[in-house]
């Protein structure tokens, strides 16, 4: 069974470590286990319980009242809350728990409910991108396994593709052509797929190359396809400090304007360059297309 430190728990449930310790001291709420060498840790069942406690607390239950409940009652009450996914915090909590449990049915149910209620654009902006950022950081720190991140990412990928295929592509009077790709070493595809959805839903054409496109291929494809814009997404945390170098290398192989989106663009200072348009969030992406 996997063991979590209090810093792991802090990242997974979004509650500060000192608050978790206060719950333990005041209410004996989910006390940690200890190794043979007296190191504190939490197991997977403790994590599930803490996720449930946070869900109840964010929906009006006082910690003092929750502390008097057994784990079964806490779980049952959270199950009732899942019928109301109107709060982003509840959606994120449910996605986190479904990911930890490898519960495809629960994960897909959240996606279905959010997209039905808000549409794909708002779901990506308010739920999926924050969730992807959270799981990416937890994977990097070892709080969750790569398998957890891959599980969630592939379910999201499948759903975005379904939404893309639902769109009836109607060309605009002055539609543009976009080349969509991820550069070498970038393998997180969901942001690029979302860009494809936005373009198709707004009547533009796109050529989708997908992940890890060799730099040497970009010029050949541009010469052949002759796009009006190239579009890429940078999200991998290990690329962070080199983000401007990567953008520069991409632009060295392009002769058309480059749009670049992704979490790294919102987190790092992007050097101003001719032909470069950084898109820091979903609003930037939709605004650019709206006024194109």
Domains with residue ranges and CATH for the chain: 1-81 (1.10.1660.10), 86-166 (1.10.1240.10), 169-290 (3.40.50.280)
User: What pLDDT does 165 receive?
Assistant: 95
Question: Which tokens go with 133?
Answer: 């950022």
Q: What angle do CA 235, 205, 161 make, to 5 degrees?
A: 55
The conformation of residue 128, written as its DSSP 8-state character, comes to I
Give me the chain's average pLDDT, please: 88
Indicate the pLDDT class of residue 150, thresholds 50, 70 and 90: very high
Across the range 120-139, mean pLDDT stands at 87
User: What pLDDT does 82 receive?
Assistant: 57
Cβ–Cβ < 8 Å for 151, 97: no
- Lowest average pLDDT, out of 13-22, 99-108, 221-230, goes to 13-22
User: What pLDDT does 84 receive?
Assistant: 55
Question: Which tokens go with 290?
Answer: 């709206």
Cα–Cα distance measured from residue 185 to residue 221, given in angstroms and rounded to the nearest whole number:
19
Tens digits of residue pLDDT in 7-24: 888 877 878 889 999 999
Burial of 36 (0-12, 13-18, 19+ CB in 10 A): exposed
User: What pLDDT does 284 receive?
Assistant: 94
User: What pLDDT does 175 receive?
Assistant: 87
Taking each helix axis from N to C end, the angle separating 146-166 and 190-201, rounded to the nearest 10 degrees, works out to: 10
Across the range 217-226, mean pLDDT stands at 95
Question: Which tokens go with 260?
Answer: 């670049």
Question: Which tokens go with 88?
Answer: 């982003």
- Lowest average pLDDT, out of 70-84, 108-122, 268-282, goes to 70-84
User: What pLDDT does 193 receive?
Assistant: 97
How many residues are present in the chain? Answer: 292
pLDDT greater than 70 at residue 196: yes
Cα–Cα distance measured from residue 221 to residue 179, given in angstroms and rounded to the nearest whole number:
8
Q: Which is more confidently placed, 222 or 80?
A: 222
Cα–Cα distance measured from residue 251 to residue 10, given in angstroms and rounded to the nearest whole number:
39
Residues 6+ apart with CB under 8 A from 215: 183, 184, 249, 250, 252, 253
Tens digits of residue pLDDT in 162-185: 999 999 877 767 889 999 999 988
Cα–Cα distance measured from residue 251 to residue 253, given in angstroms and rounded to the nearest whole number:
5
pTM: 0.80
CA distance readout (Å), 73 to 24, 63, 64, 76: 19, 14, 15, 5
Q: Of the spans 115-119, 176-180, 288-292, which averages the highest pLDDT?
A: 176-180
- Lowest average pLDDT, out of 48-57, 196-205, 207-216, 278-287, goes to 48-57
Q: Which is more confidently placed, 237 or 75?
A: 75
Indicate the pLDDT class of residue 223, thresholds 50, 70 and 90: very high
């Amino acid at each position: 069974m996997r063991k979590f430190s209090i810093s792991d728990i802090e990242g997974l449930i979004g509650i500060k470590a000192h608050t978790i310790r206060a719950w333990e001291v005041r209410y004996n709420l989910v006390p940690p286990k200890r190794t043979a060498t007296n190191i504190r840790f939490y197991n997977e069942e403790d994590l599930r319980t803490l996720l449930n406690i946070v869900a109840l607390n964010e929906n009006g239950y006082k910690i003092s009242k929750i502390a008097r409940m057994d784990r079964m009652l806490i779980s049952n009450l959270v199950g009732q809350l899942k019928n109301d996914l109107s709060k982003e915090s509840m959606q994120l909590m449910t996605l986190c728990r479904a990911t930890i449990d490898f519960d495809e049915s629960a994960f897909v149910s959240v996606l279905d409910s959010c997209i039905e209620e808000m549409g794909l654009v708002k779901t990506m902006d308010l739920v999926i991108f924050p969730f992807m950022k959270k799981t990416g950081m937890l994977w990097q720190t070892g709080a969750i396994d790569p398998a957890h991140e891959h599980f969630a990412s592939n379910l999201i990928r499948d759903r975005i593709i379904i939404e893309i295929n639902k769109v009836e592509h109607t060309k605009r009077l002055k539609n543009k052509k976009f080349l969509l790709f991820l550069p070498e070493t970038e393998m997180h595809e969901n942001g690029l797929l979302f860009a494809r959805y936005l373009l198709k839903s707004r009547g533009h054409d796109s050529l989708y190359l997908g992940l890890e496109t060799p730099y040497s291929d970009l010029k050949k494809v541009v010469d052949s396809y002759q796009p009006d814009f190239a579009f890429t997404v940078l999200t991998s945390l290990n690329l962070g400090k080199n983000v401007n170098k990567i953008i520069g290398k991409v632009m060295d192989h392009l002769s058309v304007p480059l749009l670049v989106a992704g979490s790294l663009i919102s987190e790092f200072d992007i050097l101003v360059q001719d032909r470069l348009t950084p898109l820091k969030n979903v609003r930037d992406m939709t605004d650019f297309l709206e006024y194109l």
